[in-house]
Structures are given as C-alpha cells and as structure tokens.
Structure 1
Amino acid sequence: MSKLLIFLTLIPLLPFLCSSFSAENPTDRRILVLLDDFAIKSSHSLYFKSLQSRGFDLEFKLADDPKIGLHRYGQYLYDGLILFSPTIERFGGSIDLAAIVDFVDSGHDLIIAADTNASDLIREIATECGVDFDEDPAAMVIDHTGYAVSAVEGDHTLIASDDFIKSDVILGSKQLEAPVLFQGIGHSLNPSNSLVLKALSASASAYSANPKSKLTAPPSLTGSAISLVSIVQARNNARILISGSLNMFSNRFFRSGVQKAGSPTKHEKSGNEQFLIEVSKWVFHERGHLKAVSVRHHKVEEEDEPAVYRINDDLKYSVEIYEWSGTSWGPYVADDVQVQFYMMSPYVLKTLSTDKTGLYFTSFKVPDVYGVFQFKVEYQKLGYTSLSLSKQIPVRPYKHNEYERFIPAAYPYYGAAFSMMAGFFLFTVVHLYNK
C-alpha cells in the first residue's frame, strides 16, 4: 500500500522529472561577477541584462568580499566567472590565482576585463591564459589614424577598431558594420600558446605608450601585433575572453555613436553591444559547442558490432555529431570530419560522408596487418569545441582453416612440388627396371 501511495505522489512530478533529464545543456548558467565597485553594476547594466535575458543567473559580489568562493565541499558553485575588477590586488575569501586557474582547468569559462590601472594580480591571471599586457602601467593603446572622431580631439586613445576575427561561429552570421570603441591597454599573445586568438586587433598605425609623456624609445607593442580583445579555447574546451578595456562593456560605449577617422560614415551606435554579446555567446557555449554520440562500427554484411575483426574485412563506421544552438541540439554539417584506423600510426584515413542530419559514415577494408587498432576521430576547428573519440578493436589474421585451398600466388610452388614428385617417380622406375 505504501508503494502505491508513493507512486501516486510522483505521478504529478513525472513531466518535471522527464524534462530535467532531457538533452544535456552545455551552456553555463550560474555566473559569478566580481566587481571593484557596485557602481559598475549600473554603469554596465546593458551588458549584464543581455546575459540575464538569455537565462543566465548572475551573482554580483565585491572582489574583496571575505565570504566569496568558487567551490564548496568539492563542488563548484558557478559555471562561469566574470572579473570586472581590474584594480583588485587580492581577492577575498578562498579565491586567488591558483583557484582561478583550477576553475578554468575544470572546464569552466572566464571573462577578464582589464584597464589602464590593472593590478599585478589581473596581469598574472592574463599571463596564465596566454596573453601579456604592456609592462608600462601607464601605457594605453594610441592610434593617430584609426581613432574615433569626437568633439574633443584628445590624445587619440579612444580607438574605433573594425579588425575582427574572421569567424561566423565566434561573431555570429550577422555582419558587424559599426566599429568597436576601445579605450584601454593593449596586450600581445604568447607565441608559445597556440590556443589564444585575437578577436579584435589594433590597426597597423597603433602603438602602446604613455599618452601623457613623450616617447624616448620605440614602443614595445606596435601595429596589428597589439590585441585589444583575445579569446582562448583550452584543450578541455573551457573558454576565456580577455579585454584590455572595461569601458568597452559600459552603457556609455554601447549607446555612443562612432565615426572612424578618415571614414565619411558616422554610425549612430557603436558595434560594442553586438560584438560583446556575440562573443559572450561563444564564451558561454551558446554557439560552437559540439557533441558526438552513437559511435558504431560493424561488418558490411552485418549489423551487430563485433568483438574482433579479421584482416581484409569490409567494415562500416558511423558517428552522430550535433551542435548546440543555445536552446537545443541540431545536426552539425561539415565536410572535413575524418576517422583514422590507427595502430602506432594511421593505416587508414577516411573523410566521413554526411546525410546532413548529423550522421557521419564511411566504409573501408581492414588492412592486411593484425594487432590492436583504434577508430580515432580528432576534430579541431576554429571556434568549435574539439572532439576526441577513440574505440579500440583487435584485428586477427586468418585461421588455418580460413585460407583458400589453393592460393593463385602459390601456383609456382605447387608446380615445383608436383614436378619434383613426378621426377622422383620417373627416376625410381628407370633405376629399378634399367638392365
């Protein structure tokens, strides 16, 4: 009777239980925002509202709050972290440089906004992510050609940049028409880190220096080597955004008109809002997130997956790949997904065909080599999470009773054997009966 009561109690909850165990959602929803001052919450409210309107749960804390922490009892409390605290010298609570690095190493995402007064701690975090800010604490990015036209000429530190990364998956399919306003410090990419990319670059005429003093030596950062906004996708698919300007996220820059020096076009609204919203969609896995399911292989004439293959067997391999659209999983369509049949080195390398509904497939013959092989798919593409699939399978030689009775390639040996027997028979007859 008690079991029946429990069952009747759970019936109204079944729809909720089923929905909670639906398709896996890769999008980060719980985000901790660390601020230098709570005034940033209102001065940058448009950016925060854009995140909240897409379903993100933002928790705002002062960066030096003694009660803050990223995990509790071995479990992370947040899926993403936004650092809008460029001046912080030391975080409160249990957060420090090592905690943030571990946070990213655990597959979580990070946004860092620095500024001209960036602290050593923020610089160290950026260095761990593969970028190096200008060592001069008073340096700013200056561009006497690509500056933003304004009523006050100023020192040309307010830049209008339109040198975006060429990637629809990162910036969206809608073209960015208006330049992005930037005012802050520049950084360079660590050449030993192949995972960091420039999302927004300075022009060839830009340089990094103190705008309030005369240049006494050539600047260390010049031209398009200066990155204004960089992105990183770690090998564990964690994503990072690093900006040298906190102001570019502000309401003032979002709403401001922009006209780039030398251009006759004046845009009523800068490209900051569109650029940063699109990049944040990528950072928080609303776009460019792939998953692979239903990895299958079998012989051509069979449907069940065998425990072992024989050399020269004909087999089929298939895998389903889907992309997260921000709300649901949809088929991923590409023509560059490859599978390797691998043992120490690839014996077979095949490009997978697709039916454009998410299914990728191919067929090939098992090589005439026996041993332990692997089906391997290593897929890495700009802006997409990497896929690394492997499935091990042994390959055996023919059994003694599986060979053909007479092998055509061995006919010369058969002829030699039979000719030897015939010759021996003739020699015996001649030797015995010759008088």
Structure 2
Amino acid sequence: MSKSVLLFTLIALLPFLTYAFSPENPTDRKVLVLLDDFAIKSSHSLFFKSLQSRGFDLDFKLADDPKIALQRYGRYFYDALILFAPTIERFGGSVDSAAILDFVDSGHDLILAADSNASELIREIATECGVDFDEDPASVVIDHTSYAVLETEGDHTLIASDDFIKSDVIVGSQKIEAPVLFQGIGHTLNPANSLVLKALSASPAAYSANPKSKLSSPPQLTGSAISLVSVIQARNSARILISGSLSLFSNRFFKSGVQKAGSPTKFDKSGNEQFSVELSKWVFHERGHLKAVNVRHHKVGESDEPAMYRINDELEYSVEIYEWSGKTWEPYVTDDVQVQFYMMSPYVLKTLSTNNKGLYHTAFKVPDVYGVFQFKVEYQKLGYTTLSLSKQIPVRPFRHNEYERFIPTAYPYYGSAFSMMAGFFIFTIVHLYNK
C-alpha cells in the first residue's frame, strides 16, 4: 500500500477513531485554563483544586502562549475552557474569539471571568454569548445598601450579594447561607437571547459607574437589571458561565468573612466557595445532565415495534431517562415529561407516568387520521439539558377486508333497502297482472 493511500485511509477513519475514544461519562474530561499570569494559578488555587479533586485534568497555559491550540483537523484537544485572562488583548497560537465561539458551538463548556480591566477581546466574546458588559472601561458595580461591611468603609465597590437564581440544579440543593463577595464590572443580558440567565443579581440600589469620578449623568446600568454572574445553556447543551469579577473565584474571597450592610449576622466565611463550586458542577455537566435511552413503542399486548400502525390501534410508548450525578447515571424522577403524537400539529399529547426508576411510559389510541406521524418528546426544564426525541411512524387506514361487515347501528338502513326492494317487487306484480 502506497503512503498516499495509507494517509487517505487514516484521514477517512479519523472521525470514527475520535468517536471511539470519546469519554463515556460527562466528567471524564480535560480542561484548558488560560491565564493572564501564572500568579493566578496560586491565588485561585482553591477553585482549581476543587476541580482536580473531582477528576478534571487541568492544563494551565498563558493566554498569549504561541503554542496553544484548541483543535487540529476538526479534533478538539479539550472538552472545556476556563478563561481567567481578563486583560488579554490577543490570544497566542491559533486561538482567537472565533475559535472560542466555534469551541462552544461544538458543544464544549466555557467559564469566563472578567474585571474592571476587561479587554475588548473579552467583551467581544461575552457579547457573542448574550452578555453586554458596561461600555465604560473604568466602571464597576457600586452598591450603598448591600456592600460588605469592613473595618474601614470605602467606596462600596465590594458587594455582598445573596440574590441567587432560584434553581437547585444550578446552584445546588444545599442553601447558600452566606452572601457572595463580588468586586468587578457589571453586565446586562441581551433581551433577544432567551438562553441567558442571571445566576447572581445586583440589588435594586446598585449601579455601575466610575467610583473615582463624580456622576455628571445618570448611570446606564442600574438596579436589578445588573447581572453579576450569568449562565447560558446553548441549544447544543454547551454551558457557559460569565462572571464580572475574577476575584470572586480567588482564595482571598473564599476564606474571607462577610457581613452584609444592614444585617446583624456576620459569617466567618463567605459563600464564594460554595457558590463557585456548585456553579462549576453545573457548567461541567456534573448536575442537570440528562440522557434518554431505550425509546420504544408497540401495540398493546405485543413487544415488537411494528413498521406501521393502523388507525384506532391501541399502543404503548416508553423511554428511560437518567441524570448524571457526577459519578454514575441515576434515574431521573419528575412528573412533567410529555410525548406528542405529531403530524403537522399534535393529535395526541400525553404526560408520561414513571415507575421512579427512570422508566416513563403511557398508552393511547392512534387517532382516526392516517399519514406519517412522529413520536416527539421535547423536554426543556431550567438547568437541565434539553431532550429532543423523535421517531417517525406511518399510520394507515383500514384495508377493505378489515371493516366490520354488518354494523348494528346500520340495521335501519339495511331494513330500508330491503323494504324498498320488496315494495318495488310488489308494485311490479300489481302493475303487470292487475286489470
């Protein structure tokens, strides 16, 4: 075999080899961490250690390293990206904003942290993800009512926020008691992007401005419209976390005590560590990641899947749904999974029953309409990956020899037909032979 033929064969088999060696579990993944400075590796070591303790392989590189690359020949080297380089003006190697967006479009996850010195490159990436940072590069979030109480109060740019998203699957089922310390730049959500959610919001009294200068006009970003930390789940199930504060993930904020202004309670430790770790579990699919297997349908009383159904057939539909717990696949239990029997529009909509062991099932009658139908399950729930299942099946009418021959409800019509025949026969006899 010539070298050219061998090379062509290897290139042709590359997609199959890539698939064959892809990790079976969502958390068996390698993460690229891009930094402004290697000092961040030690100043944020607690956050990184929490990831490594959960089995992630972190590859630390400077953001301007000329050798960094996310993929080659369509094969990605990493499954997730942590971007802790808020001041970077230009990435090294083959990485740029388009490459990072393609990385996300390919189903990979991203954590991006900015601060008041965020570069145009970081702002551009955030904007493409549906998040708009304050246009003024010197602006930070200021709050004169929900700031963190210190020995010497300053300009109230160190905020203690406890306005978390109401979702246990995103921030964890264990309540975060202590407020989260935040110091950085605020952002708003693009109203045209319905996939972006506020994970941590500013208080109604907050605003974004330059603390070193007097306000000559009302600030553009004010109140609860300001998001401090946002999350996005794309339609391809890729997940993104965008924070306006790099310090939020730092060891200093993890270990720092906190007391929110106006509150008598002082916490020995802020909620930063719990909040950051729980969010990272969601972003890296350790929670809220669903899969559906064994989608089946068949006639009642049978077990084999037919090639088609007949109108008015009784059928059963079932599917198994599991959630990744971080270590194993466990049954997903809920009461809001629905199936549609669909042709142009749903003819049947049924809520699936569950046995609390992952199996969802229902039974219904095929509508009295023939054509090409689909079994469709479109499951969308806050914090969970989207399940989109579809199976096509034709539905035929009765054959000519399948109709019931003498229908009881038609007896009056039968009687009228035979009485008409008898009457015509009697009339003929009378007309012919009566003088």
TM-score using structure 2 length: 0.94
Q: Which residue of 1 aligns with 2:340?
A: 340
In structure 2, how many angstroms separate the alpha carbons of the residues matched to 1:21 and 1:379? 29
Question: What is the Cα deviation at residue 188 of structure 1?
Answer: 0.3
Aligned to 2:184: 184
Mapping of residues 16-55 of structure 1, within 5 Å: 24-27=24-27, 29-55=29-55
Deviations 1:342-386 (A, max 9, x none): 000000000000000000000000000000000000000000000
The superposition leaves residues 46-74 of structure 1 with CA deviations (integer Å, 9 ceiling, x where unpaired) of: 10011001000000110011110001232
Q: In the alignment, residue 181 of structure 1 is paired with which amino acid?
A: L
1:207 aligns with 2:207: yes
Query: What residue in structure 1 maps to residue 398 of structure 2?
Result: 398
**Structure 1, residues 287-309: CA drift from partner, whole Å, max 9, x if none?**
00000000011111211111110
Q: How does 1:243-322 map to 2 (within 5 A)?
A: 243-322=243-322
Kept in 2: contact 1:370–1:397 (CA 8 A): yes
Secondary structure of the corresponding residue to residue 95 of structure 1: coil
**In 1, Cα distance between equivalents of 2:21 and 2:396:** 41
Pair 22,68 (structure 1): closer, same or farther in 2 beyond 3 Å:
closer
Measure, in 2, the Cα distance between the counterparts of 1:118 and 1:341.
50
Following superposition of structure 1 onto structure 2, how do residues 10-409 of structure 1 map, counting pairs within 5 Å?
A: 24-27=24-27, 29-409=29-409
Distance 1:410 1:21, change over 3 A: farther
CA contact (8 A) 2:201 2:228 kept: yes
Whether the 8 Å contact between 1:28 and 1:79 is mirrored in structure 2 is: no
Q: 425-434 or 377-386: which moved more?
A: 425-434
Secondary structure at 2:48 match in 1: helix
**Further displaced range: 399-408 or 335-344:** 399-408
Runs of 4+ deviating beyond 3 Å: 20-23, 408-413
Unaligned 5+ runs, structure 2? 1-19
1:273 is paired with a residue of what secondary structure? helix
AA aligned opposite 2:228:
L
Structure 2: distance between partners of 1:76 and 1:320:
30
Note the alpha carbon deviations across 1:264-314, whole angstroms, 9 max, x for none.
Answer: 000000000000000000000000000000001111121111111000000
The answer (yes or no) to whether the contact 2:189–2:227 under 8 Å persists in 1 is yes
Give the Cα separation in 2 of the matches to 1:28 and 1:132: 32
Q: Does the aligned pair in 1 maintain the 2:27–2:55 contact within 8 Å? A: no
* 1:112 partner SS: strand
SS across alignment from 2:52: helix
What percentage of aligned pairs have identical amino acids? Answer: 84
1:249-276 deviation per Cα after TM superposition (whole angstroms, max 9, x unaligned): 1110000000000000000000000000
CA deviation string 1:202-248 (max 9, x = no partner): 00110001111111111111111100000000000000000000011
Separation in 2, partners of 1:352, 1:22:
32
SS where residue 66 of structure 2 aligns?
Answer: coil
CA shift for structure 1 position 420? 2.0
- The CA deviation string for residues 169-228 of structure 1, in whole angstroms up to 9 with x for no partner, is 111111100000000000000000000000000001100011111111111111111000
In the alignment, the residues of structure 2 paired with residue 310 and residue 245 of structure 1 have an alpha-carbon distance, to the nearest angstrom, of: 60
Equivalent position SS for 1:64: coil
Unaligned segments of structure 1, at least 5 residues: 1-19
SS at match of 1:405: coil
Q: CA deviation at 1:407?
A: 2.6
* CA–CA separation in structure 1 for the residues paired with 2:36 and 2:281: 24
Indicate the SS of the match to 2:241: strand
> For the residues of structure 2 that align with 1:86 and 1:21, how far apart are their CA atoms?
34
Alignment partners' CA distance in 1, 2:101 and 2:270? 33
Q: Is this contact kept in 1: 2:27–2:56, CA < 8 A?
A: no
Deviation at 1:423, TM superposition (A): 1.8
Paired amino acid for 2:119 = S
Within 1, Cα distance between the matches of 2:247 and 2:46?
12
Letter matched to residue 47 of structure 1: F
Q: Matches of 1:207 and 1:308 in 2, distance apart?
A: 62
2:430 counterpart residue number: 430
Deviation at 1:24, TM superposition (A): 2.8
Shift in Å, 1:409: 4.3
Task: Please tell me whether the aligned partners of residues 28 and 80 of structure 1 are also in contact (alpha carbons under 8 angstroms).
Answer: no
CA contact (8 A) 2:28 2:55 kept: no
Normalized against structure 1, the TM-score is what?
0.94
Q: Distance in 1 between matches of 2:23 and 2:343?
A: 34
Take 1:381 and 1:93, find their aligned partners in 2: how far apart are those partners?
Answer: 38
CA distance in 2, matches of 1:22, 1:333: 28
Distance 1:411 1:159 in 2: 83
Equivalent residues of 1:28, 1:284 under 8 A apart? no
- SS of residue paired to 1:428: helix
Structure 2 Cα separation of the partners of residues 411 and 91 of structure 1: 85
SS of the residue aligned with 1:424? helix
For residues 331 and 316 of structure 2, the distance between their equivalents in structure 1, rounded to whole angstroms, comes to 21
Contact 2:375–2:391 at 8 Å: present in 1 too?
yes
